[in-house]
Amino acid sequence: MTEISYAQAQPDSTTQKNNSSSTKSPAVKKSNVQDAVEFQSNDSLTINLRDGRKAFLFGQAKVSHTAGELTAGEIEMDIEKNQVEATAQSESDTLSYPVLKRDTDEIKSTRILFNYKTQKGKFEEAKIQVPDGYLIGSKVKNVSPDEVFIEDGIYSTCPPDYLYYYIKAKKMKVVDQEEVFFTNARLFILDIPYPIVFPFGYVPASLEKRRSGLLTPTYAFQAQSSRGIGLQNLGWFQYFNDYFTAQVSSDVFTSGTFLVNTNLQYRKRDRFQGNVSIGYSRDQGLESTDPGFTTTVQKSLIINHYQDFSPYSSISSGIDLRTADYFTQNSFDIDDRAKTSSTSKLAYNYTHPENDFNFSINSQLTQNFNNNTTTLTGPNSSFSLKTLTPFKSQVSNEPKWYESISLRYNNTFNSRFSYAPVDGDSADVTFFDALFDPDLYEEATGNEDHFRFGFRQTASVGVGRLLSNPFINLSASANFNEYWYPTTTRQSFSPDSLSDPSPVKTEQIRGFAAARDFNFGLSFSTTFYGVSNQKIGKLEGFRHTATPSLSYTYRPDFSDPSWGFYRNVQIDSAGNTRRYSIFSNEIFGGPGSGEQQALTFSIRNVFETKIVSRDTTGEVNEKKLKLIDNLSASTSYNFAADSLNFSDIRTSLSSNALNGIRITAGANFSLYERDSTGRQIDRFLATSGDKLAQLQSFNVSASTSFRGGKNGPEVYTPIYRRAYDPYNQSRFSPVDPHFNDEPVTPLNSPWSFSLNFNYSWTFRFNQPPTKSATLNANSISFRLTPKWRFNTRIGYDFIQKELTPSQFGLTRNLECWNLDFQINPFGENQYYFFRLTLNSAQVQSLFQKLPILKNLERSSTPTGRGYNR
């Protein structure tokens, strides 16, 4: 045999260049020929041309082809058969073991025989990494690019160095790099075999493609005395296409208790998206003869939809209908169980392309489960024209006052149906029956005012700047409102019902009625600045910005008989009367009573400073700081009122001066005394000398969020001050002069939490004030180690002196396992949940179907649904 050694390999092995002085063959230049084979080696290359065309590569050999890339210590390449055989340079040299890379797959073996033309191959003691796990086999045969057979195979989602569990089978087959089939297999956990042999099995090895299939059920062990045993999350997921999916899941117990959830999802990018969810549950005991046996049915319907018809119009809906105890019976989420009402909304919006007008229509349904009332608001519609400035000049550099004149118009149509049955929960008439039948509505509520609706339109004229002075802003406005209603109210005195607590009877008169009102306003505002050069520590210079404003509003007394909007009614046998509005029961009300000449005063204050710091070079760094973002106070005086001319004094404060802490506060004060019944009288508190004002209400809140740490502890090798000698034990002697010279490695773990404190106080005459004080810590998360994480939410009520509903959770990442523990030890909704799962959902589903291993999941919740799936 004639052998020729080459120091440089060419794409065409028949091309020879004798240069034996070099022992390294650099990489071959890439060829433009399709399916070209490129190879290189760091040691040497030998080509045999007598018995066919063969090449032998030694030392970090590499062969590249469109079928894949092969690296090994030694490679023998048969160019005529399009075949390569790769081995390690020695059995002990694990770094030179052959590795075949194909797309995202990687196969490591002690010996590889591969045909890069047909993409068939044989592998000995091979390790194959698939998208969702690892395969190990004594013999592996690749019969096609999409089909692999394995003898004495092992499958696991754990890395090969951490095989905490694995499936060992006599034969395995991998199809399309997604599905793993096996026969005569056993499950091993910590190398302990599971006592059942599987004659055949199937595990999908990838979830890159969405597909239909069974959901992962879980055995339920809790509350067996009342519900029996059962299965949770038993159902089916159906993948129709990329735009539409569906899922049906159920919890079934031997007592007959069950929960069924159906969820449909649909989406088309840039067009529409939404989902429909239907829930139905029935809760009952084991036997109908048991004491306290009851059957409770709960229902839920949730519809969410959003759609863009064009860049200018869209529709959105959020329907949430359910029975009162649906979440109480079927959910252990704190927020869900705290909900006492549900709200459904439907809205359509349209904006003219040139922004000439806006139009919207919406409807809202609110269910209050505490008092069994339901309110349907809508359909409501609103229409508004864009603001017109008819006298505005496009070229004027000094605009005149009349150029700031603006015209606005808008109208609103509102309707409302309120259902509050007299019998509350025991009402025989349902909401829908009362909605469509006025007689049933009156029977259930005792009110003949079935459905309210009305129309209001508003036109306004404003002058933005009456003065050209840049320091003073003076503006004026006039507003005109018109109301249209289908009914009005009439009240009459009934002498025959004097014993009745309300001898005045109210009647609705049908027929179109209109009302109008108007008002005028004038407002003045300016801004003052105060500056101080005072220094306090690092704070240098203070600035106070004050913005006072005055506004005057005039409105006639529309209760005057000349307007026809108010009437008088006798209220007792003595002949006393009172005035009432014939629009008092309408949806927008009507024109107000009493003349109004109100002067409103308000002032807003902002306090700022600068934080000045200087470095060692003398460079000055300045940073602005707002000490108080807003400190405001306002009150008004009505010149037309015959008493109690001053309104309450309203104050508010907000600040972000403390880094990361937001503080807000507000208080209301009254200037008048009260009589023995608690009603305010026209006498100032200051006249009695006790105090200037009475605090009516006060509230303060503070919130903050913190986070820090890094992604796990930083590990580094300390830099020794002297050369390390493993045989020199003086470093570990009792007295080490270099002890503590090196800093201790800090444990940097990511953490985050938010705190919210709320306090409110409300005055009550001759009664203790109403107080509320709560501290809530939400979203607390702390990574104890790179693999341990703790999270919780907890709160405390300082008035009731008890903890609010709380949750605690602890998770542990166990390489290919996840340990999750959740508990709520306080309040009525106490539960715990323990879950040990695999990172692979496919294999986890197998675990949950096996006896003994089902105990990896435990819960104390009555339905077993305490864990958020």
pLDDT (tens digit per residue) in 541-584: 899 999 999 999 999 999 999 999 999 998 888 888 999 999 99
Please check whether residue 40 lies inside any domain of the structure. yes
Token pair of 556, please? 């006639």
The answer on 164 and 83 residing in a single domain is no
How far, rounded to the nearest angstrom, does the alpha carbon of residue 515 sit from its chain's CA centroid? 46
Res. 713: pLDDT tops 80: no
The answer on 16 and 61 residing in a single domain is yes
The answer on 59 and 19 residing in a single domain is yes
Q: Dmax over Cα atoms in the chain, in whole Å?
A: 137
Write down the residue that tokens 């602890």 correspond to: 810
- Looking at every residue in the chain, the average pLDDT score rounds to 79
Q: What pLDDT is attached to residue 864?
A: 37
Mean pLDDT of 34-57: 78
Of 209, 238, 255, the position where a domain reaches its end is 209
Mean pLDDT of 785-791: 82
Please check whether residue 641 lies inside any domain of the structure. no
Provide the pLDDT confidence category of residue 214 given band limits of 50, 70 and 90.
confident
Q: What pLDDT is attached to residue 378?
A: 85
Res. 722: pLDDT tops 50: no
Count CB neighbours of 249 within 10 A.
20
Query: Which residues, at least 6 apart from 273, have a Cβ–Cβ distance to it below 8 Å?
Result: 266, 267, 305, 306, 307
The answer on 151 and 80 residing in a single domain is no
Provide the pLDDT confidence category of residue 149 given band limits of 50, 70 and 90.
confident
Domain residues for 141? 119-209
Contact 600, 639 (CB under 8 A): no
Q: What pLDDT is attached to residue 34?
A: 54
Token pair of 450, please? 């079935």
The segment with the largest mean pLDDT, out of 86-95, 543-552, 715-724, is 543-552
Min mean pLDDT across 601-605, 712-716, 838-842 is at 712-716
Q: What pLDDT is attached to residue 829?
A: 60
The answer on 135 and 86 residing in a single domain is no
Provide the pLDDT confidence category of residue 289 given band limits of 50, 70 and 90.
low
Mean pLDDT of 474-494: 93
Q: Which of 265, 359, 263 is nearest to 315 (CA)?
A: 359
Q: Return the percentage of the chain with pLDDT > 70, whole number.
A: 80
Res. 849: pLDDT tops 80: no
Provide the pLDDT confidence category of residue 497 given band limits of 50, 70 and 90.
low
pLDDT tens digits along 151-199 = 888 888 787 777 877 888 888 888 776 677 888 888 887 788 877 777 8
Count structural domains, the chain. 2
Please check whether residue 749 lies inside any domain of the structure. no
- pLDDT: is 207 or 646 the higher one? 646
The CA-CA-CA angle for residues 797, 803, 804, to 5°, reads 80
Contact 719, 742 (CB under 8 A): yes
Please check whether residue 703 lies inside any domain of the structure. no
The answer on 193 and 135 residing in a single domain is yes
Res. 626: pLDDT tops 70: yes
Res. 481: pLDDT tops 50: yes
Distance CA 126, CA 98 (A): 9
Please check whether residue 23 lies inside any domain of the structure. yes
Min mean pLDDT across 154-168, 323-337, 338-352 is at 323-337
The answer on 80 and 4 residing in a single domain is yes
The answer on 134 and 90 residing in a single domain is no
Of 181, 209, 237, the position where a domain reaches its end is 209
Please check whether residue 307 lies inside any domain of the structure. no
Res. 665: pLDDT tops 80: yes
Amino acid at 419: Y
Count CB neighbours of 386 within 10 A.
12
The answer on 136 and 64 residing in a single domain is no
Mean pLDDT of 590-618: 89
The answer on 126 and 89 residing in a single domain is no
Q: What pLDDT is attached to residue 447?
A: 79
Of 209, 224, 249, the position where a domain reaches its end is 209
Contact 669, 694 (CB under 8 A): yes
Q: Which of 456, 717, 728, 451 is nearest to 589 (CA)?
A: 456
Res. 412: pLDDT tops 70: yes
Q: What pLDDT is attached to residue 270?
A: 82
Min mean pLDDT across 183-192, 371-380, 595-604, 770-779 is at 183-192
Distance CA 19, CA 831 (A): 79
Please check whether residue 234 lies inside any domain of the structure. no
Min mean pLDDT across 49-63, 196-210, 390-404 is at 196-210
Min mean pLDDT across 625-629, 763-767, 833-837 is at 833-837
- pTM, 2 dp: 0.63
pLDDT tens digits along 259-277 = 899 999 999 888 899 999 9
Q: What pLDDT is attached to residue 869?
A: 36
Provide the pLDDT confidence category of residue 119 given band limits of 50, 70 and 90.
confident
Res. 322: pLDDT tops 80: yes
32 CB burial (10 A radius; 0-12, 13-18, 19+) = exposed
The answer on 50 and 127 residing in a single domain is no
The answer on 84 and 124 residing in a single domain is no
pLDDT tens digits along 668-688 = 999 999 988 888 998 898 888
Provide the pLDDT confidence category of residue 2 given band limits of 50, 70 and 90.
very low
Q: What pLDDT is attached to residue 488?
A: 94
Q: What pLDDT is attached to residue 308?
A: 92
Taking only Cα atoms into account, the Rg of the chain, rounded to an integer number of angstroms, comes to: 41
Contact 439, 392 (CB under 8 A): no
Please check whether residue 377 lies inside any domain of the structure. no
Mean pLDDT of 218-229: 57
